[in-house]
Amino acid sequence: MFDKGLSANNKPAAGKKSGGVEQLSQVMAKVQGGMQVGRVTDIILNGAYPNIEDYGGLNGIGTIFFELNNFISDGRGIAKPFYPQTSAYPLVNELVLLFKLPNNNIGKNTSEESYYYINMISLWNHPHHNAYPNPVTSTTLPDSQQKDYQQTEAGSVRRVTDESTEIGLNSPINLSQATFIERTNIHPLLPFAGDIIYQGRWGNSIRFGSTAKPFNIPNIINPLGLATGQDALNDWSETGTNGDPITIIRNGQNPESSDEGWVPITENVNEDLSSIYQTSTQKIPIQVASENYNSYITPPEIPSQYTKPQVIINSDRLVFNAKTDSILLSAEKSIGLSSNTSLNFNTNNYIVDAGNIRLGSKNATEPLVKGETLYKNLTQIVKALTTLVDVMEVQQLWPGGVPTPDGATSITARATRDILNNVQKDLVNIKSKVSKTI
């Protein structure tokens, strides 16, 4: 029978005299000995990298060149990304954790190994970058920045307040990928208990969070999660109960954020560049462009006061495009369109299927006419009047028994017939060539 669990590691293998604990410590020492820290000296990010075919061609994208931390070496190591589905490539001068594992020659030589790297080491615990130049070889930093790092090593918080640290963060030999510009106003997100947060380097992030109301110390085990006098540290925890889920996708923080990039912040639906909020019980203080709901008899609750599940998409411009089919909007109550300037419809066919249509006001009472029916009825009236004036034009008087033309009636009849003929010609234009009704 095979031993299971930890007991499998507590017994020495056959022929071995060492105890289980000693054997386990040897295994752990071997694993730890396989870990190394490397400082990135260059990285391949596109096909323009010099001699890229020597590193696998385009399959070499993501490959880093490294030096072991704090060592001077004539050569440089090469490592590939460990995760094939997730790309989180380091910058030059960032530190990564290295492992030696089998490479693609495993079919020929099972003992051949190569370096692989996993995520950058969070040296500064900051999403923008965590670079640190080699203190043994770096002589390019200005005195102010060298002092900054020395103070950090002495225990101070690293607080770069000028435009950059002047650390090399890009490839030194492939200028086509040298695009990273350090910014001092990128702030990390403030976390709350239980949050799972993914942050990019430029103020873009995804937060899987919840309502987070603080408690007073005496009521810290309050099962209802009700606030007891302290203000929440975010703007989505005014309502609901602690633990009510919220998901926030943000692309770009407030561009007017301070240069104190070490200060954590929370998302701001009105100031962030673009964001999507998926709520459960939270009230999001969004300032919408228009709250004109005059067309409603019973207006909907405005977005900033709604406390039931809703999805908020907020940006300077929204584009919804269906490449091959349709955009379908469906709602139990209503679909409200509100704009401060205009609503524009451009299409080949505009169809409205409704039992009650009111134009101009929700209180409109005047019914619209049916163009085809009106055209037919007016045509009949014009024809009847034309026949009548034809008779009137030849009307005669009989003074003394002798017929005499009625001049005044004849003149009026001819003038009326001319008007009726013009109306008859133009009557077809009474019908819209675009709009139809039933």
User: 282-309: per-residue pLDDT in tens?
Assistant: 999 999 999 999 999 999 999 999 999 9
Q: In this model, does residue 19 exceed pLDDT 60?
A: no
Helices (H) and strands (E) in the chain, counts: 5, 12
Question: For residue 420, is it left (φ>0), alpha (ψ between -120 and 50) or beta?
Answer: alpha
pLDDT computed for residue 428 by the predictor: 84
Alpha carbons 268 and 260: distance in angstroms, whole number: 17
Residue 20 pLDDT level (bands cut at 50, 70, 90): low
User: From the CB of residue 140, how many other CB atoms can be counted at a distance below 10 Å?
Assistant: 11
* Maximum C-alpha span of the chain: 156
- Strands (DSSP E) along 242-394, which ranges? 245-251, 274-278, 311-314
Residue 221 pLDDT level (bands cut at 50, 70, 90): very low
Q: What is the pLDDT of residues 355-406, one digit of tens each?
A: 888 988 999 988 888 888 888 888 888 888 888 888 887 777 766 666 777 7
Average confidence (pLDDT) over 222-234: 60
Highest mean pLDDT (candidates 61-75, 221-235, 392-406): 61-75
Alpha carbons 59 and 91: distance in angstroms, whole number: 19
The mean-pLDDT minimum among 100-109, 200-209, 241-250, 322-331 falls in 100-109
Q: What is the pLDDT of residues 103-115, one digit of tens each?
A: 888 777 777 889 9
**Could you give the residue ranges of the DSSP H alpha helices within 137-220?**
143-153
Residues in the chain: 438
* Neighbouring-strand partners of residue 113: 102
Average confidence (pLDDT) over 169-182: 94
The mean-pLDDT minimum among 9-18, 49-58, 92-101, 250-259 falls in 9-18
Alpha carbons 187 and 120: distance in angstroms, whole number: 18
Q: Is 280 helix (H, G, I), strand (E, B) or coil?
A: coil
User: From the CB of residue 43, how many other CB atoms can be counted at a distance below 10 Å?
Assistant: 22
Average pLDDT, the chain: 83
Confidence (pTM):
0.78
**What is the identity of the amino acid at 87?**
S
CA distances from 276 to 137, 198, 267, 269, 385 (A): 45, 15, 11, 8, 67
Query: 381 φ, ψ to 5°?
Result: -65, -45
Which element (helix H / strand E) includes 425? helix 407-426
Q: Residue 157: how many CA atoms within 13 Å on its side-chain side?
A: 8
pLDDT computed for residue 29 by the predictor: 52
